Structure formats: structure tokens, C-alpha cells
Amino acid sequence: MKKQPFVTKEKLDEIIKEYPTPFHLYDEKGIRANAQAVKEAFSWNPGFREYFAVKATPNPFILNILKEYGCGCDCASLTELMLADALHFKGEEIMFSSNDTPAEEFVFADKIGATINLDDFSHIEFLEKAIGHIPETISCRFNPGGVYEISNGIMDNPGDAKYGFTKDQIIEGYRILKEKGAKRFGIHAFLVSNTVTNDYYPALARTLFELVLEIREKTGCSISFINLSGGVGVAYKPDQTPNDIRVIGEGVRKVYEEILVPAGMGDVAIYTEMGRFMLAPYGCLVTKAIHEKNTYKDYIGVDACAVDLMRPAIYGAYHHITVMGKEEEPCDHKYDVTGSLCENCDKFAVDRMLPKVDIGDLLVIHDAGAHGYSMGYNYNGKLKHAEILLKEDGSTQLIRRAETPEDYFKTFDCFDILEDMKDPADM
């Protein structure tokens, strides 16, 4: 089966005249259409906000597009908070959901008015010592433990996850937070990752809606917002059926009206924190075949590597590959598609059936718009490459330049040990 790239070979041939491969390419039209669909899917809830998971694609140009659709930022570190603040996302538009959090990050989050989502019972005391008070608005992250199962089977194992309060801890936590002056409460849960089912959010909503009624009864805390976090995935494989966000939103609405509305909680806001669903299908990694190797297997070496997309290397994750210009040719050659790192796991595909690949062919690696560029690193001294936005009018915009050797060595600039380093371009 096939996936259709959002960019044509003819357009890529134009782009590579200006920007050398590899690079990440993002589809502005697709991003906007999807953000609008999410907004409409939850329009039944007046307080709804999608807090885009900045970790997925921390690019200011992307964040500003999403901001136009009312999205906020889900941040998990100091630099993500700094990015959101620099783009003028206001306090209530920033959710700080972190774990093992340094004190200085809580201080900055409080300073800019972000909503702090506590990950652990011990963080109540830690937060109070760090910032000198308990914020009036506060959220806590719930982990039910055990195995999370819904109607279509086992989804994941929260009991093995490092995140969140136990049920007893979270009930006691709200009681303590209320005593310490908190007035507006939220609850958050992230139980599974990359679900390709329309049932996950409604099932999670039921779990949390029932819990907030118990919390209100036992602590007197009335929850103002319920954050379903992320976990809504994308169809990485061409034979998978993509999630339908409108069906998901309607499923949550039905549970909301069944549980919360009769309990007098029909004003509770619903939040989401999707990164993968918001961006993954609307970004791709464009790379060029530069070597072919035939030993015990057939290998195609490309000019990208796990620096540019490490999910296949660390998870064995599947990303579909299109050989541009050969979409109609038979996939009758079996290849490992590899990068140049000194690690055998640096492979975008293993035993993948593709058309015959020739040196110079452009390969599009699909669904790299989230957790692609952002997970990169610099092993082997490899440099991260450019990010480019394919705009709605067909033009392109550079939204992050490629790294240079100067960038790589920048953290040595306080020493003179490399003062004699030569630029290869000058030799």
C-alpha cells in the first residue's frame, strides 16, 4: 500500500535548488486544516483549548500558525517555557507539565503565569519552597496504575510509567492544595501513546470524569478543567485507518453529558495536549540516495541519518518511504535504508520493499512533522539540518537554518584551544 506525499517531485526539484538535502518540510495547508478540525471537534465545550505539545515540533513559525487557531503551548522544560513566553503566549495559554522538575523551572513558570501541572505528591512541598507560595490555579497529573484497557484491548501499562500521582495521593494532594490557598483546580492524565483508535479519549474522559466527582465529594475541590493530554496518534502505516478527531470529540461530548452535566459540572473546560496528531502527518524528511551497498543485504545510504529522525533507531518505529518519481513502479527491491552514523541502528527502514532506488533519487520519509527534528542530536559531530515551510501559495519559507560547524563548536568559544581550527571552505 502507498501513502501520498503532500509535495510533488517537481516541487521538490525546485526546493533542492535552494536548499540542499536533507531537510524537514512542513505543509502549512495541512497544519491549518487539521488545527481547524480540532477546534471544531471540541467547539461544544466553550472552555476548550488545545495546548500543543511544544516538545513535538519546537519551532516558533509553527507555534504562531497554531496560535491563530486558539492553541496554547504544553511545555515541559525551561527552554520550552522561554519559547512560549517569547512568542507572547499569555499565562493561561501555557501549561507546564513536567517531571523531575528543577526548582528554577517552577520559578520561571510561576513568573510568567503558566498553569503548573504537578507530576508527584512530593512536588507540592517542593513547589511551595521553590516559589514561596501555592498558585491559585493548579493541576495534578493522575496515574491509575496497572494496565489501561478499553473496549478494543490493552492500550498501555501506566503502572510502569514514571508519571503522575496514585489515586490516593491525588485525592490527598487536592485536600492539601486547597488548605494552602489554591482556588482553581485541574486534573491531567497521559496514559498511552500514539493510539490509532477513536475510543481512547472518550474512555480516558470517563475515567477522569468519574474521578473528579469523587475528588469533589472527598475534598470539596471542584475541578475547573480536565486535561486529556496527548496519546491521540497517527496512521504511520499505510494500511492503518487514521483517527477521526470529530468522532473523538463527539465521543468525549457524550461522556461529558452523561457524567458531568447531571452532576452540575457542565461548565468544566476540556483541554488537550496533542503534538503528534497536530503535526506528524504534515511534515516529512526529504533525503537523497547517495550510496548503494550490496553485501549480505542490499543497502541504500541516504544523506540523512538518525540525527534527523531517530524514532526508527530507538523504537524500531515505522515511517513510510516514497521514492519520488517512482510511485507507480513495483516495490520489488528489498532494502535497508541507512544513515551514516557509527551505529548499526541508524536505519530508517529494515527489509523494506521499494522500487529500485538509484543514486540521486529523492526519498520522502513520511509523518516526520512531530518528534522528528526535535529529537535530533549531534553524535558523530553530525549537524542538524534545515526546516522549511511549504506555504499555502506554493512558495517556501526557511523556518530554521541548518546547523554549521561553528554552531557545533560554539560551546568551546570561551577557550582558545580551537583557535587554529580551519574552515574547510577556505582550504
Per-residue pLDDT tens over the stretch 317-339? 999 999 999 999 999 999 999 99
CA distance 408 to 247: 46
pLDDT single digits (tens) 309-321: 999 999 899 999 9
Q: Which residue type does 132 have? A: G
Distance of CA 349 to the CA centre of its chain: 22
CA distance 117 to 210: 20
How do the domains of the chain map onto residue ranges? 42-274, 281-406
CA distance 81 to 74: 9
Backbone CA torsion sign across 310, 375, 100, 410: positive
CATH number of 281-406: 2.40.37.10
Tell me: pLDDT of 145 over 80. no
Q: What average pLDDT score do residues 111-131 get?
A: 97
Q: What average pLDDT score do residues 188-217 get?
A: 92
Domains 42-274 and 281-406 share a fold: no
pTM above 0.75, yes or no: yes
Question: What is the architecture of the domain spanning 42-274?
Answer: Alpha-Beta Barrel (3.20)
CA distance 299 to 18: 28
